[in-house]
Structure 1
């Protein structure tokens, strides 16, 4: 494990870092930026040298170049924040609400329903998670004002990028730079995010990417301190004292870190039948592999590694349930959410003693009706990827029994 150092011997850069950090004993480079350099080395080794395919190698090089440029950009502006907006550190994150589940279990739908209550919640948009700096976000707000006055050319450009970059995901997971989104982008800078498995097909070789909770407690604390620091910047930039609302389908692997960092957090756990969730997650990630790793067939051990990640997430959350006070957690079945989303949201508000205003109730009912007629255009089967029901049941028997899932 290694954290990013003060930026080398360049005199100007060193002076800038010193200016940003001087007289602030509460600042560490871990909170400003945290990178697990070993993972970067592992990505290079696995994707380029261990099992070479030119598409995978080229995609990896492009990704790492863009990653480096983004790191340098964001690090510069985060250091600038320490000079221009040091008050962001006074932001208190009280009783945040985390929506956690396996992928493809209704989190996006629930999250976007809750986001309709804009006075209660503060949430992240995709661009905010990849540009987590007060200075950067305020510059973007200023550019948006200018853009509106000159006919919105930048807005049209980013809508074009949305269609090009995320168009293929619209039936799987609708995305856009300006849409409410899970906060996994904050973790991308550390490289300890299961989102890397969209790029790297060798899951078994990256145990800390799968489960950051397997790090030493010291490094977990550094990792989560950086996440908390990013949240404070976002909340300060938005100027809101609302409750932080997060949905993240990859946070199961860092659940210990989350509940230690935010002991007063409320957790909503969405659960779907493993026979549905396991192949759905596998298909979602495998779609990216079809471009850069056409040498990996659907029915392969590497592909089944994606499903095993989903299985391990089920097992790990189940093992952690008793460490979360019952008053702090609510479990909602996927089927119940889809059948009656209004009741599911009302259940959240009632369980955690949130006040539901009348105007939010109206918006909630208007926006929840679409779930009644929704039917996914994607049909996933266990057999397509070589999974067997008995194997999944044997690994998750306790989960099946707890939720009375049909075998």
Structure 2
């Protein structure tokens, strides 16, 4: 077995761990659930998280007391879920559609501070800004406090019911995958707690932005269609797919980039490789089975390759087919964003794709090649 390489700088870079925005109760639950199993090299990171939680507790409590009743009374906005496996173009689509000011979004700042993003914004946003990298480490797209981000981080800061805790306690990643993506062997009461947490976050976003639709992006939701429909029966879904060979290689790039930043534990390369293969299979088996449950007119499926060739035309098609807003009104903002990113070049994986990798990926994911329309 080969340990995934972490550099010395990774141990010293303690300020980017998302759990700094969680509550003390949630932090303690996670530590107990993982038997306080933190490798000694990551103790500074854990101490920093604990310090930030304690320092922010008064603000967290104040915001909860001030807005709790209003949040409960707020109507749940219509969710528009961007789904598809990691590294399939979900972020570019999210950033592009996020230019529509008539849609509420969950920003990077809000995912990191879900307990206190209304009253605490004026105190905390600059603090978060200074600790964000200019570019996302896995793809060099810009990363800013106000840009839309994955709400799964916010769910993880609000509760123990998030797959992303498997990135923080990476030796336990299968536990969080089975429990909070596939929901295998999970009680109905826990499912209801997860739904309530999700609904609470969306209501709080709706209260802040005074919008009745919210644009969301979380790749793990690809495997949660059934539960999402139970919570939000009228939700809209935008599924984007990409060549599975490229997805596999790009997902490995993702894990090499984020685990050194987020994890409190060392992991083995072979274990993560096995997990990447199993995760894809699990969420897509669920998706292919459960997408039929989505009401007609509430799902559109697009391909990454077509989207990056014709982004404006693709978004126009999404708006028209799902009926989610006024495309014409938002079109100038869409075109401005696309124009600003004309020079962006995604990573080229051709030199990394050898026959051994192709054979392994097709052996594991062959069913998805066929369903998604990609050739071997």
TM range (shorter): 0.7 to 0.9
Q: 2:168·2:265 contact (CA, 8 Å) conserved in 1? A: no
TM-score by length of 1: 0.73
Q: 1:213·1:255 contact (CA, 8 Å) conserved in 2? A: no
Listed as ranges, the matches of 1:81-160 within 5 Å are 81=66, 86-119=69-102, 121-133=103-115, 137-141=118-122, 155=126, 158-160=128-130
Distance 1:100 1:94, change over 3 A: same
Structure 1 residue runs without a partner (length 5+):
1-31, 145-153
Report the structure number with the largest CA radius of gyration: 1
- Match of residue 366 from structure 2: 397
Cα deviation code 1:55-75 (max 9, x no counterpart): 24x266337625854894575
Matched, 1:248 2:184: no
Bigger mean CA deviation after superposition, 363-372 or 325-334 = 363-372
Distance 1:305 1:212, change over 3 A: closer
Cα deviation code 1:325-375 (max 9, x no counterpart): 232111111111111001110111111124435342222223224555432
- Match of residue 309 from structure 1: 279
Q: 2:81·2:235 contact (CA, 8 Å) conserved in 1? A: yes
CA distance in 1, matches of 2:278, 2:83: 18
Listed as ranges, the matches of 1:6-405 within 5 Å are 39-44=30-35, 47-48=37-38, 53-56=39-42, 58=43, 61-62=46-47, 65=50, 68-69=53-54, 72=57, 76-77=61-62, 79-81=64-66, 86-119=69-102, 121-133=103-115, 137-141=118-122, 155=126, 158-163=128-133, 167=135, 169=137, 171-188=139-156, 189-202=158-171, 203-209=173-179, 211=181, 213-214=183-184, 215-238=186-209, 240-290=210-260, 296=267, 298=269, 300-369=270-339, 373-377=343-347, 379=349, 388-405=357-374
CA distance in 1, matches of 2:74, 2:181: 28
TM-score by length of 2: 0.79
Distance 1:294 1:123, change over 3 A: closer
Q: 2:162·2:180 contact (CA, 8 Å) conserved in 1? A: yes
The structural deviation recorded for 1:261 is 0.4
- Match of residue 6 from structure 2: none
**Residue 180 of structure 1 aligns to a residue in which SS?**
coil
CA distance in 2, matches of 1:220, 1:261: 10
CA distance in 1, matches of 2:144, 2:68: 28
Cα deviation code 1:366-401 (max 9, x no counterpart): 3224555432246487769x9743343344333222
Distance 1:402 1:241, change over 3 A: same
Cα deviation code 1:188-223 (max 9, x no counterpart): 132332323333332234444552623222211111
Segments of 4+ moved more than 6 angstroms = 291-295, 380-384
Bigger mean CA deviation after superposition, 341-350 or 360-369 = 360-369
Structure 2 residue runs without a partner (length 5+):
1-22
CA distance in 2, matches of 1:167, 1:398: 34
Distance 1:355 1:176, change over 3 A: closer
CA distance in 2, matches of 1:253, 1:161: 31
The structural deviation recorded for 1:321 is 1.4
**Residue 344 of structure 1 aligns to a residue in which SS?**
helix
CA-based RMSD of the aligned residues comes to 3.5
